[in-house]
Amino acid sequence: MIGKYFKTYGGMLLLSWALYSCAQKIEQRVGHEITIEVIGIKDSSTIVGYHFGNQRLILDSCKIVNDKLQLKGDYALEKGVYFLYSPNFYFEFIISDQFFEMKINSELGYKDIEISGSEDNELFAQFQNKMAEVQKQQSDLSQRLTTVTSSDSVSIIKDLERIGLSAKKFRQSLISDNPDLFFTSFLKIVEGITIPEFEEIEDLQARKTAAFKYYKDHYFDILEDAPSLMRTPVFHGYVMKYFDDLVIRQADSVNIQIKDWLDKFEDHPQGFRYWLMTLYTKYQESKIMGMDGVTVFLSDEYFLTDKVDFMDEDQKLEIAEELKFIRPNLIGKTAPRMNLLDTAMQPFSLDQLNEKYLIYFFYDPECGHCKKKTPILKEAYPDLKQVGAEVIAICTITDTDKWKKFIKEQKLDWLNLGDPYYQNNFRIEYNVRTTPQLYVLNQERKIIAKKIDVEQVLEFIENYELLSQNVTQ
């Protein structure tokens, strides 16, 4: 009996020890080892890369031996969508698991693939095959739609809607059935936000407003871990759609949203740098008036601080110098003061003007563009006077003869002022590095518009008047 006990107990000990040793080996498995076999590939090497924002970056190059390549290292690769690229082959796959194998037919791709050790890639292949099927069905129906009669087109449109709904249900089932997989995290981006119907709200406009507010407030809820999605092809577009469509196009509002977004990447330097540069470029190049307030904010908050360590001192100095031309004339700021002279070389104080709006028109008499735009502004001048505006034409050169000749030739009867002795700083404070430049000031002499075409100034003031009246009411 005792011998039987020891035999049984000893067997249990051996089994426990074996399981413990196996667990230890699994725990000790660090780094990454990924083997990919591509049957029938014609290339001897391939580039391994990954998506990063809207870019595709190279991770490594691998030799292909007997149709196989291997990624191996003593460190973990970041999660994301990676790709193989060679002259005759392109293939995307997911890295979340660090140890797995795949076998792919170079001609059939996802249609003929074997995967071991990666649920994410199994799901990814399933998704790719389904979407390829859906796209073919939609393409065939869309092609038929161009050749059938209007009565037949109704049936085809219904088929297209049915296919689209089926694809949506398929994506939703993948998400609900696989909540913990990495692939699911960016499939949620493809699927987007589900907005409640708000049926309890009877007024249609109020319902639309509630739906929009919900959409904006919950837009980023699906991003459980934003930095981990940097290496996916859908992330960049999703984020930029938010800044393009949902953020109020006013500098202060944009600045708040950018800071909130960048805070998510506080512990992800590569992602922080990417989004800082991406959003800085977006608003620096924006044609929307007032967005230079965003570039000033980003410079003060980030570029000119120790939060940015990827720029040298010369680059930071260049940014600081540029701000000297931008900061003084931001929309909403009080217009910088100028001490100007009239054509009789007498000082003229702009403080004595009582008009509701002032239009500063900076020009160079020798500038070809100024010669074209000045007559257009002159033609609008009577209508501008009707809405309570006065034009102050400011000559930017010091040659008084050319200045006076230009006034005479153009028959300019508005207020003509200049700085013939170079005693003002307006060339910097109003960023007059090119001409013409036009600024609009309100009655409080705050800048309400700048760098708009002379053709737009009357319409702008009229719209500003209407907006002011509506706010008052």
In a domain, 282, yes or no: no
Per-residue pLDDT band for 7 (boundaries 50, 70, 90) equals very low
Overall average pLDDT of the 188-205 stretch: 93
Query: Which stretch of 2-6, 250-254, 320-324 has the lowest confidence by average pLDDT?
Result: 2-6
Concatenating the DSSP letter of every residue in 319-371 gives HHHHHHHHGGG-TTSBPPP--EE-TTS-EE-GGG---SEEEEEEE-TT-HHHH
CATH code at 51?
Answer: 2.60.40
In a domain, 139, yes or no: yes
Query: Which stretch of 148-162, 359-373, 419-433 has the lowest confidence by average pLDDT?
Result: 148-162
Domain C-terminal end among 66, 84, 117: 117
In a domain, 270, yes or no: no
CATH code at 368?
Answer: 3.40.30.10
Cβ-proximal residues to 388 (8 Å cutoff; 6+ apart), any chain: 355, 356, 357
Across the chain, what does the average pLDDT equal? 92
In a domain, 252, yes or no: no
Where is 468: in which H helix or E strand?
helix 457-472
Q: Both 149 and 78 in a single domain?
A: no
Q: Both 185 and 113 in a single domain?
A: no
- pLDDT of 2 reads 39
Q: Both 157 and 185 in a single domain?
A: yes
Q: Both 37 and 50 in a single domain?
A: yes
Q: Both 170 and 68 in a single domain?
A: no
- pLDDT of 139 reads 93
Q: Both 47 and 162 in a single domain?
A: no
Q: Both 79 and 20 in a single domain?
A: no
Instruction: Give yes or no for residue 240 having a pLDDT over 80.
Output: yes
In a domain, 39, yes or no: yes
Where is 69: in which H helix or E strand?
strand 68-73
In a domain, 209, yes or no: no
Query: Which stretch of 18-32, 57-71, 120-134, 403-417 has the lowest confidence by average pLDDT?
Result: 18-32
In a domain, 463, yes or no: yes
- pLDDT of 376 reads 97
Per-residue pLDDT band for 147 (boundaries 50, 70, 90) equals confident
Distance CA 391, CA 413 (A): 10
Amino acid at 434: T
SS3 101: strand
Domain C-terminal end among 191, 211, 242: 191
- pLDDT of 472 reads 65
The model's pLDDT over 299-349, given as tens digits with 9 standing for 90+, comes to 999 999 999 999 999 999 999 999 999 999 999 999 999 999 999 999 999
Q: Both 345 and 464 in a single domain?
A: yes
- The rounded percent of the chain whose pLDDT value lies above 90 is 87
Q: Both 413 and 349 in a single domain?
A: yes
Domain C-terminal end among 89, 117, 145: 117
CA angle 13-14-15, nearest 5°?
Answer: 90
Distance CA 132, CA 170 (A): 13
Beta pairing partners, 328: none
Name which of 265, 224, 221, 235 is nearest 50 in CA terms: 235
Q: Both 110 and 168 in a single domain?
A: no
Instruction: Give yes or no for residue 189 having a pLDDT over 80.
Output: yes
- pLDDT of 322 reads 96
Q: Both 69 and 149 in a single domain?
A: no
Concatenating the DSSP letter of every residue in 176-207 gives HH-TTSHHHHHHHHHH-PPPP--TT--SHHHH
Quick check: 426 and 408 in contact, CB under 8 A? no
Q: Both 110 and 46 in a single domain?
A: yes
- pLDDT of 6 reads 37
Instruction: Give yes or no for residue 362 having a pLDDT over 60.
Output: yes
Token pair 């398929």: residue: 170
- Number of structural domains (the chain) is 4
Query: Which stretch of 15-19, 193-197, 422-426 has the lowest confidence by average pLDDT?
Result: 15-19
Tokens of 254: 């944009």
- pLDDT of 412 reads 97
Per-residue pLDDT band for 180 (boundaries 50, 70, 90) equals very high
State which residues form the domain around 346: 340-472
- pLDDT of 210 reads 96
In a domain, 276, yes or no: no
Query: Which stretch of 19-23, 113-117, 361-365, 373-377 has the lowest confidence by average pLDDT?
Result: 19-23
The model's pLDDT over 12-59, given as tens digits with 9 standing for 90+, comes to 444 444 444 444 444 567 999 999 999 999 999 999 999 999 999 999
pTM of the model: 0.86
β-strands 89-95, 55-63 pairing: unpaired
